[in-house]
Amino acid sequence: MNIIHIFEFMVLAAVAALLAFAAFHLAQSRHREERQLDASAHNLAQLISRRMHLSSLLGSTLLTTAFIFCVASTAFAAGDEKNGHAYFTKAELPDMTKILPPFPAFESARFVADQSQHLWGKLMRQDEARAAQAQNDAVYSMQTAIDAYSPLFGLEITKEGTPEIYSILQDVLASCDSIYSGAKAKFNRQRPYAYYDEGTLIPEKEEKHRYEGSYPSGHTVFFWTSALLLSDICQSNEAMEKLLARGYEFGQSRVIAGYHWQSDVDAGRMAGSILYQLIRSHERFVEQLAKARAEFKEKAGGSTNVTNTTRAAQQEGSARIYRIDGTPANDTAKGIVIANGKKVIIK
């Protein structure tokens, strides 16, 4: 074998080695890819399994939530003012669009009256005390009603101290939304501040309510109905006069604030009166009212309140006759009063 043959053999051997190395490298790469594919397939299978499990859990959760919602809707009927139980569903209440007159057409004589009252409301904003009251009255809540009415009612209303009165007030107020919300949507009347493109006493709420119907006034329904209820519980003409006068002011506050026309407020009082008349015939309400009246008599005429009122009378010094709520009276007062530190009945 000459030198040329040896050189050719070495070249062929080198080429063969290179080919062998390339084949080995390709085989290794293919093996790694296969393992990666196997791992990917395994991961994909696991991912699909997890997704199916999560979908199953989600479906169960949605079904459970829907079931709970349906049960809650049935149990609590039409509304809920901080866990109150409404007396009627919306479907059980009359359609207020078939009872209330249509709101005044723009440029009609009745609308001129609304415009006049709108100007009155703007003038009332110059009275700082009345403007502040209108702002406070704008808070749509049971607590707002309690804060305003308790001093006139003659008894502080609390969940712990007057549970029967508190509970019936909750339930009555939970019923209010259903009597007016449908009419608001159907009438879809433009609010005064939107009509005039002007500001109100509660600017932070303007955008929220700008495109909501104005007729009838929901605030008026809410606070007028609560005044009717409390008047019914205390059964005192004097207290009723004060409660309904304050209830009237709640409605006028909506005119002063610039959120309602006067006819919206008038319709709200009518809707609230209709609602309360319907509620008074409800069996559950009749039972609750009897308990609330008994509680009022016990609390308002009990020894604790008499002691507190007597102490207040003694501190005043000048007048010797006081009503149960602690306000001064004279010898022409009728009913239960505190005279010289003793509870007496004047007929």
**How many angstroms separate the CA atoms of 271 and 217, rounded?**
9
Give tens-digit pLDDT for 248-294: 999 999 999 999 999 999 999 999 999 999 999 999 999 999 999 99
How many other CB atoms sit within 10 Å of the CB of residue 228? 23
The string of pLDDT tens digits covering residues 31-84 is 555 555 454 445 544 544 554 544 444 344 434 434 433 434 444 444 445 568
Task: Give the residue-averaged pLDDT of 188-203.
Answer: 97
Q: Quick check: 96 pLDDT over 60?
A: yes
Residue 215 has pLDDT above 80, yes or no: yes
CA count, 13 A, side-chain hemisphere, 67: 6
Q: For residue 30, is pLDDT > 80? A: no
Catalytic residue ranges: 219, 254, 260, 264
Instruction: With 0.85 as the threshold, say if the pTM is over it.
Output: no
Whether residue 343 has pLDDT greater than 90: no
- SS3 per-residue string spanning 77-114: CCCCCCCCCCCCCHHHCCCHHHCCCCCCCCCCHHHHHH
The sign of the CA dihedral 130, 132, 138, 142 is negative
Q: What is the pLDDT of residue 107?
A: 86
Residue 93 in this model has a pLDDT that exceeds 60:
yes
Could you give the CA distance from residue 245 to residue 240 in angstroms, rounded to a whole number? Answer: 8
The rounded mean pLDDT for the chain is 79
Q: What is the DSSP letter of 260?
A: -
Q: In this predicted structure, what is the pLDDT of residue 84?
A: 83
Environment class of 262 (CB within 10 Å of its CB; exposed 0-12, middle 13-18, buried 19+): buried
In this structure, the chain runs to a length of 347
Instruction: Indicate if the pLDDT at residue 244 is higher than 50.
Output: yes
pLDDT of 62: 38
**Tokens read off for 339:** 């005279």
pLDDT(324) > 80: no
pLDDT band at 301 (very low <50, low <70, confident <90, very high): confident
**Contacts with 285 (C-beta within 8 Å, 6 or more apart), sequence order:** 87, 168, 171, 172, 279
